[in-house]
Amino acid sequence: MTSHTDVLVIGAGPSGCVASAYLNKKGIKVKVVEKNHFPRFVIGESLLPRCMEHFEEAGLLDVLMQQGYEIKRGARFTRNEQVCEFHFDDKHGEGWDWTWQVPRADFDNVLAQEVLRQGVDLQFGAAVTGVAFDKMGNSSTTVHHEDGTTETIHAKFIIDSSGWGRVLPRILDLDKPSKLPRHSSIFTHVKDELRPAGFEGCRISFDILDKDTWLWIIPFSNGITSVGVVGGTTFFNGLVGTNTQVLRELLARFDRSRDRFATTDFLFEPVILKNVAQSVKQTHGKGFALTGNSAEFLDPVFSSGVTFATESGLLAAKLIAKELNGGAIDWQKDYSDYISRGVDVFATYVKEWYSGNLQKLFFAPNVNADIKRQICAVLAGYVWDETNPFVTKHDRVVKALAHVISL
């Protein structure tokens, strides 16, 4: 079986849905292949305000607004008795001041069903097993369907939004080691029967055990809460027991939430992800672009994953639409360099989190209000805002301020 399309999108997560919905709106023939059937579980449940703009521009925001997801208006970081809170309505610059905490199985399915409703050709149970490009960048992609049939899809361009599947990096040997510290995570969902009443029980929290080890608590509007612990991979390698035993023992180390989760049932066997940071040699090539986790994944600590996925998915779609309509695109400058600027900002914040410098800033007494607003804008996902010195000087300012605080 053979088919033809202008753009083939691999993966129907947020990046693939935003890209395909945008292209479809522009009248470009697009086909999406997704290996799994939805709903399916995936991590990455805390969004950032920046991605709301992407859903809106792609025509996907209205259906998401109808779902009643838990609203996220900021984030709280705790360390022993110390508390640091950021409120997205008190940040530097313009932009959305809220977003959602979402169970991704449901969230991604809502997006995919809306893309289908809008007329996009989206096929589930379709696994990419091979890709070949000609000199012009036109591609032939081999797809195996669950019914045993094989399809060859000819496309002018491929957007790889396959996430952790990392289809093109695997096939084209584009993976490279991340420069970030090696960290791993263990997580599950719980029926949060001891959730505090009111706003306190709905807010996202990050509780710090030590410089390298921290707990996330992400409540959903359905009464379920996502809990997970992140720590150094060497630390994880020394843990003994089943995944359930390991997570139980780790949760007991966090004083603030110990009682809340001591007896609650895990809704599935906790999952361990080792060495979560991922990187690639290049994010585009002749006839393709990598978006979201298929290109880069940094760390769960600042919830940047979905925002980078939708930012890159939407940008790739815009550039492809322009190119297919005769426009000239410099993919290195207009795509890879742009995405890298945002990735580099968040990568600095991840590095300085685990170095301890950013934690010094978070928990310092009497932090300047403007500095806190500028950091808050970064945590809201506005990492391309060049009016923010915590963006433009990211590689120096956190370290310098932490040094001053230490004097």
SS3 for 91? coil
Q: Comparing 156-170, 172-186, 252-266, which segment has the lowest mean pLDDT?
A: 172-186
> Has residue 298 got a pLDDT over 80?
no
Q: Considering the chain, what percentage of its residues have pLDDT values greater than 90?
A: 88
- Asked whether residue 325 falls in the same domain as residue 311, the answer is yes
CATH code for position 132: 3.50.50.60
Residue type at 337? D
**Same domain flag for 172 and 282:** yes
Task: Report pLDDT for 16.
Answer: 98
Task: Quick: pLDDT tens for 318-377.
Answer: 999 999 999 999 999 999 999 999 999 999 999 999 999 999 999 999 889 999 999 999
Q: For the chain, count helices (H), then strands (E).
A: 16, 19
Q: 289 and 244, same structural domain?
A: no
Lowest mean pLDDT among 59-63, 299-303, 329-333: 299-303
Angle at alpha carbon of residue 49, lines to 230 and 184, rounded to 5°: 10
What residues are paired with 87 via a beta bridge? 74
Burial of 262 (0-12, 13-18, 19+ CB in 10 A): exposed
Kindly state the average pLDDT of the residues 143-168: 95
Q: Tell me which of 273, 288, 308 is where a domain ends.
A: 273
The token pair at 337 is: 């360099």
Residues 284, 258 share a domain: no
Mean pLDDT on 377-396? 97
Tell me the average pLDDT across 248-269.
Answer: 95
Element holding 300 (H helix, E strand): none
Retrieve residue 268's tokens.
Answer: 């599935």
- Asked, for residue 130, whether it belongs to a domain, the answer is yes
**Cα–Cα distance measured from residue 341 to residue 336, given in angstroms and rounded to the nearest whole number:** 9
Task: Name which of 135, 112, 127 is nearest 170 in CA terms.
Answer: 127
Q: Are residues 43 and 172 in the same domain?
A: yes
Task: Please say if the pLDDT value at position 24 is more than 70.
Answer: yes
**Domain stop point among 341, 356, 377:** 341
Residues 208 and 50 sit within 8 Å (Cβ to Cβ)? no
pLDDT, residue 306, reads: 95
Using the Cα atoms of residue 250, residue 254, residue 258 and residue 264 in order, give the sign of their dihedral.
negative
The mean pLDDT of the chain is 95
d(CA 243, CA 128) in angstroms, rounded, equals 31
* Residues 169 and 214 reside in one and the same domain: no
Peptide bond just before 39 cis, omega within 30 deg: yes
C-alpha distances in angstroms, 121 versus 7, 112, 148, 273, 393? 11, 11, 20, 32, 43
Question: Cα(137)–Cα(155) distance, rounded to whole angstroms?
Answer: 9
Residue 55 lies in a domain: yes
Contacts 24+ apart (CB under 8 A), 144-153: 149/1, 150/1, 151/1, 151/2, 151/3, 151/126, 152/1, 152/2, 152/3, 153/2, 153/3, 153/4, 153/5, 153/8, 153/31, 153/33
Q: For the chain, what's the residue count?
A: 407
Rounded Cα gap, residues 317 and 23, in angstroms: 6
Q: Return the pLDDT at 406.
A: 79
Mean pLDDT of 163-178: 89
DSSP symbol at 265: P
Report the CATH number at residue 212. Answer: 3.30.9.100
For the segment 187-198, the average pLDDT, to the nearest whole number, is: 94
Q: Looking at the predicted structure, is the pLDDT value of residue 407 above 80?
A: no
Helix (H/G/I), strand (E/B), else coil: 288? strand
- Domain residues for the domain of 203 are 183-273
The answer to whether residues 383 and 389 touch, using CB atoms and an 8 Å cutoff, is: no
- Write out pLDDT tens, residues 229-244: 999 999 999 999 999 9
Judgement on whether residues 49 and 139 belong to the same structural domain of the protein:
yes
| Count of domains forming the chain | 2
CB contact at 8 A, 151 and 8 = no
The reported pTM is 0.95
- Return d(Cα 79, Cα 211) in angstroms, integer: 10
pLDDT higher than 90, residue 162: yes
**Taking CA 301 as the corner, what is the angle to CA 298 and CA 304, rounded to the nearest 5 degrees?**
55
Q: Is residue 287 part of a domain?
A: yes
